[in-house]
Amino acid sequence: MTLPTRHLGPFPVSAIGLGCMNLNHGYAAPTSQEQAERVLLTALDEGVTFFDTATLYGFGANEIRVGQILGKHRQRFTLASKCGMQGVDVNGDGKLVRVIDGRAATLKATCEDSLRRLGTDVIDLYYLHRWDKQVPIEESVGALADLVREGKIRSIGLSEVSADTLRRAHAVHPITAVQTEYSLWTRNPEIAVLDACRDLGVTFVAFSPVGRGFLCGPLDIGSFGPTDIRATMPRFSAENYAANARLLAGYTAIAEEAGCTPAQLALAWLLHRGEDIIPIPGTTSVEHLREDLAAADVKLSGALMAKLDAFFHPKAVVGSRYNAQGNREVDTEQWPGEAAA
């Protein structure tokens, strides 16, 4: 497969990247090393040239996997990782707790750890995973700018920030990319930050582009295990999911009209929203990986795009995307009443 390319700052990358989180973190138990190899190497063989990981994922285990499996192919792809949110043994009992820490010294130390785990001399795109609101964004970005000057990272990204925070950060050092959840059922970037990205020439990287599985078809929410982050998300509560699931029949009908699967329709919609948008779906399945990548060949008419926009308007979706703690931790714009939903 030959995937079309898009520009991520100075890097030409495949129009669809791969989010690597699922292999270690977020949904089910970590995959086996053999399955991780199948997914990552198949992605590379199928033309993916943009891989996204983070210090947080598996508390470093995901970076280790990406480094072990893809290290020998390092010149063939653009590598992104993230800092500012990691596991810390705060109680001295050996149990790691997720901590947001944007202090300069922490970010620089985390980068050294990431370089070691990834087995590379430089990270192409290094994101601030969350803005630590106890630390001015200018201070955190200043630390990342030092890493650019030292040659340890090539460019800077931000994750889950508002338009105002992006502009403040960009004034310190050019920001290459903003990564935020964006899909048909999460339209928050359209409030302000997507326009800010375009004003500043910043690429928008869309994570969870298939709505954490919602846009792939019906889910059995009762099967979510203890490590599945969706179990804490209001949209996936029994009551809210039942309301949201009513959208699926109409959505599936639109996918049939477009001649593609529901997951492909979700990805194709994002690709058609602008050349400056790069979705990074994640999966533990080679079959699903190939299905996702085939979305690059799906063509959507203006009329069908308008139908999707109208069908998935923000008020159509019930529930906030994060719980109260998650909403406090992000800096993204919200629709009126969303945080309380």
Where residue 105 falls among pLDDT bands split at 50, 70, 90? very high
Active site residues: 57
Mean pLDDT computed over 202-212? 98
The mean pLDDT value of the chain amounts to 95
How far apart (Å, rounded) are the C-alpha atoms in residues 154 and 122?
Answer: 7
Let me know if residue 290 belongs to a domain: yes
Report yes or no on 220 lying in a domain.
no
The predicted model gives 271-297 an average pLDDT of 97
- Provide the CATH number for the domain around residue 205: 3.20.20.100
Confidence at residue 90, expressed as pLDDT on a 0 to 100 scale:
80
Q: Is 165 part of any domain?
A: yes
Separation CA 295–CA 281 (nearest Å) = 11
Quick one: which of 38, 48, 45, 42 has its CA closest to 16?
A: 48
The answer to whether residue 131 scores a pLDDT higher than 70 is: yes
Query: How far apart are alpha carbons 81 and 122 in whole angstroms?
Result: 11
Number of domains in the chain: 1
Range of the domain at 65: 5-213+270-298
Decide if pLDDT at 118 tops 90. Answer: yes
Backbone angles phi, psi at 201, to 5 degrees: 75, 35
Is residue 153, in this structure, part of any structural domain at all?
Answer: yes
For 27-60, write each residue's pLDDT tens digit. 888 899 999 999 999 999 999 999 999 999 999 9
Predicted pLDDT at 340: 61
Residue 33 token pair: 């090393």
Report the run of H or E that residue 271 belongs to, with start and end: helix 262-272
Whether the predicted pLDDT of 336 surpasses 90 = no
Q: Tell me the sheet residues that pair with 207.
A: 181
Q: Is residue 113 part of a domain?
A: yes
Lowest mean pLDDT among 70-84, 163-177, 216-230: 216-230
Q: 177 in a domain, yes or no?
A: yes
pLDDT for the residue 191: 97
User: Percentage of the chain with pLDDT > 90?
Assistant: 90
Long-range contacts of 61-64 (CB under 8 A, 24+ apart): 61/24, 61/25, 61/30, 62/20, 62/21, 62/23, 62/24, 62/25, 63/114, 63/117, 63/118, 64/117, 64/118
The model's pTM is: 0.96
What does the pLDDT average to over 166-182? 98
Is the pLDDT assigned to residue 285 strictly greater than 80?
Answer: yes
Provide the phi-psi class of 127: left if phi over 0, else alpha when psi is between -120 and 50, else beta: beta
In angstroms, rounded to a whole number, what is the distance separating the alpha carbons of residues 74 and 92?
A: 36
Helix/strand/coil percent split, the chain, to 5: 50, 15, 35
pLDDT of residue 97: 85
pLDDT per residue as tens digits for the range 68-77: 999 999 999 9
What is the rounded distance in angstroms from the CA atom of residue 262 to the CA atom of residue 255?
A: 5
Does any domain span residue 83?
yes
Local confidence band at 1 (pLDDT 50, 70, 90 cut-offs): low
Average pLDDT on 294-303 reads 98
What average pLDDT does the segment 271-282 reach? 98
In a domain, 231, yes or no: no
| pLDDT at residue 341, rounded to an integer | 63
